Amino acid sequence: MENVSRFGHVVMLGPTNAGKSTLLNRLIGQKISIVSPKPQTTRNSISGIITQGDLQAVFLDTPGLHRQKRGIAPLLLRSAYAALGQADVVLLILDAAQYARRLDGLAPDLRPIVKAVGDGRLPVLIALNKADVVREKARLLPVLAAVSEALPAAELFPISALTGLGVDDLLTALMSRLPEGAHQFDPDEVSTAPVRFLAAEIVREKLFLALGEELPYSTAVTIEDWDERSKPGLTKIRAAIHVARESHKPMVIGKGGERLKDVGQKARADIEEMLGGQVFLELWVKVRPDWTDDRAFLRDLGLGQ
Ligand SMILES: Nc1nc2c(ncn2[C@@H]2O[C@H](COP(=O)(O)OP(=O)(O)OP(=O)(O)O)[C@@H](O)[C@H]2O)c(=O)[nH]1
Ligand SMILES: [Mg+2]
């Protein structure tokens, strides 16, 4: 055990869908950040706090680096790079399985990252995630070689955020890179995000999983009402699902309201687990035309200035 107190921010950066949020949840040991197989799931920087004796780290899960120019993608990109301003340690997460199949996808993904963190100012650790899917481990070698050529000072860790493989070693290495400093949170705190925000995120996750390819990107969720007082042990939550067009509304609601009901049931179960109590969750769908261009609303969502 070290005697010196260490504290710092670990910024998790990487291409979209690499498994950043899955890794954050694995590190914290509970679900804080939402996960889906679709790209651009994470929209805000989500914090998770880990305290191990004299060591305390705030992990910031960021929106994936995505080259798309449409919709809110550029905002998400800006927010990911903005998080770097707070970094004491950088954790890059790459989908090793994807590159093991096609190394040619690696260079364009790495270029902006090298530009942002390759100056050697901050310690950089790289998690080559999804190692569980790479059956022939030899396939990882060219990926390792390419990454260490691009970022020679970085330390590499093949891991699986899904199975936990290699994650303990990665965490030990990350915590040992923290600068000296006083802890800023109670040891039992797991996130700086308010539970209301996390609840809205849970609803958004269920929507991402329930909806097709395009629609998730034009939905947003806000908490309209949160009542813990009217009945002890019960939290009544009213959440609005914002869609960009009238025609999206029936798609979210589904035939006979089935889809919305399903989203609501799944979200309620997760929110109950998070709050450790009973939840009554009411969802309603609101049309907010072209909200992805509405700066004031984006600000309310914590996106953009
Ligand atoms: N097989 C496997 N799948 C993984 C692993 N880590 C994450 N995934 C899957 O990869 C998909 C994307 O995971 P996320 O954690 O949402 O990825 P992300 O990097 O946060 O993505 P964005 O928020 O969209 O940038 C999900 O379907 C995860 O279940 C892993 O180690 N192995
Ligand atoms: Mg994510």
pLDDT in tens, 103-119: 888 888 888 888 889 89
Q: Which residue has the higher pLDDT, 299 or 159?
A: 159
111 within a domain of the structure (yes/no): yes
* Beta-bridge partners for 226: 237
166 with 47, same domain? yes
Consult the annotation and say whether 269 binds a ligand: no
Atom of ligand 1 nearest to the CA of 34: 16
Report the CATH number that the domain containing residue 110 is assigned in CATH: 3.40.50.300
Beta bridge partners of residue 56, listed in sequence order: 7, 51
Candidate from 11, 12, 17 with most ligand 1 atoms within 8 A of CB, to mutate: 17
222 lines ligand 1 (CB under 6 A): no
Residue 263 in domain: yes
Q: Using one digit for the tens of pLDDT, what is the confidence trace for 257-274?
A: 999 999 999 999 999 999
pLDDT at 1 over 60: no
pLDDT the model gives residue 44: 87
First vs last Cα of the chain: how many Å apart?
42
Listed residue (63, 59, 56, 58) closest to 41, CA to CA = 63
38 and 138 in one domain? yes
42 labeled part of a ligand binding site: no
Domain count, the chain: 2
33, 85 contact by CB (below 8 A): no
- With the most atoms of ligand 1 within 8 angstroms of its CB, the residue from 16, 35, 42, 92 to mutate is 35
Distances from the Cα of 32 to the Cαs of 8, 47, 108, 205, 259, in angstroms?
A: 19, 8, 30, 11, 24
Write the residue with the smallest CA distance to atom 12 of ligand 1: 17
> Are 40 and 144 in the same domain?
yes
Distances (CA, A) of 157 to 12, 74, 93, 96, 284: 14, 29, 10, 11, 44
Residue 213: its pLDDT value, please?
A: 83
73 and 23 in a common domain: yes
Structural domain containing residue 205: 195-300
List CB-based neighbours of ion ligand 2 within 5 Å. 20-21, 41-42
pLDDT digits (tens, 9 = 90+) for 18-64: 999 999 999 999 999 999 999 889 988 899 999 999 999 999 999 88
Which pLDDT band, with edges at 50, 70 and 90, does 255 fall under? very high
Residue 65 banded pLDDT, cuts 50, 70, 90: confident
Please name the helix (run of DSSP H) or strand (run of DSSP E) that holds residue 223, with its range, or none: strand 219-227
Q: How far apart are CA 142 and CA 202, in angstroms?
A: 37
Instruction: Check whether residue 19 and residue 144 sit in a common domain.
Output: yes
Q: What is the CATH number of the domain that holds 207?
A: 3.30.300.20
Residues 154 and 265 in one domain: no
Are 140 and 210 within one domain?
Answer: no
Whole-angstrom CA distances from 1 to 49, 54, 56, 172, 176 are: 19, 8, 13, 12, 11
- CA distances to 95, 107, 258 from 56, rounded to whole Å, are 27, 34, 44
- Residue 37 Cβ inside 6 Å of ligand 1? The answer reads yes
Same domain for 219 and 152 = no
Domain end among 124, 146, 176 = 176
Pair (111, 258) in one structural domain: no
Q: Is residue 99 part of a domain?
A: yes
Q: Nearest-CA neighbor of 166 among 99, 13, 178, 174?
A: 174
Measured distance CA(1)–CA(4) in Å, rounded: 9
Q: Which of 176, 206, 226 is the last residue of a domain?
A: 176
Query: Any idea what DSSP says for residue 150?
Result: H
What's the token pair of residue 304? 């953009």
Q: Which two tokens stand for residue 10?
A: 């670990």
17 annotated binding-site participant = yes
Q: Which of 22, 79, 91, 167 to mutate to test the pocket of ligand 1 (most atoms within 8 A of CB)?
A: 22
Our answer on whether the CB atom of 132 is closer than 6 Å to any ligand 1 atom is yes
pLDDT at 305: 64
